[in-house]
Amino acid sequence: MPNAGQLHDPRAFKFQPRNMVRVPKQFGRSGLLVEPAEGIDRDDARFQAAQLQHVIANAAREALLARGHTLRSYVGEFGNVPGMTYERLVRIQRGETMMQLADLMAWASRFETVRDLLATSRTWPETNSLPNDHAS
């Protein structure tokens, strides 16, 4: 069992994505990329995950608007997808709750713009500092 210090480790992966960005109100509401919060490195995996969630949330919001929907009017389209409640989706869109892979798949299966974001290299962090995974 972890000790009390491990439960509150600021480096842990249980976090609010919006806390990783400089302007939390921008989260999921802007087509611009977000900047890391003070004290958060751009290479921090939590910031990179927050950036991806922000981009996906914004793409989903824009796709809904293009179809004449709001999040509230569209939520019923998810049918029996567990956890797809309006309240939870709002928290994901705002970056108050971490998006899970199942959420990502639910959005990607419905919106081509989300699929496109997942397939383009501009969505992913720079890899200059990572070892090359291609054989020479």
Q: What is the pLDDT of residue 85?
A: 92
133 in any annotated domain: no
113 in any annotated domain: yes
DSSP-H helix ranges across 8-128: 45-66, 71-74, 86-94, 101-110, 112-119
Pairwise CA distance, residues 42 & 79, whole Å: 37
Q: Which of 26, 14, 10, 20 is nearest to 50 (CA)?
A: 20
Q: Domain of 32?
A: 14-121
131 in any annotated domain: no
This model's pTM is above 0.85: no
132 in any annotated domain: no
Q: What is the pLDDT of residue 78?
A: 86
Q: What is the pLDDT of residue 135?
A: 45
Kindly give the parts of the chain with pLDDT less than 70. 1-12, 121-136
37 in any annotated domain: yes
54 in any annotated domain: yes
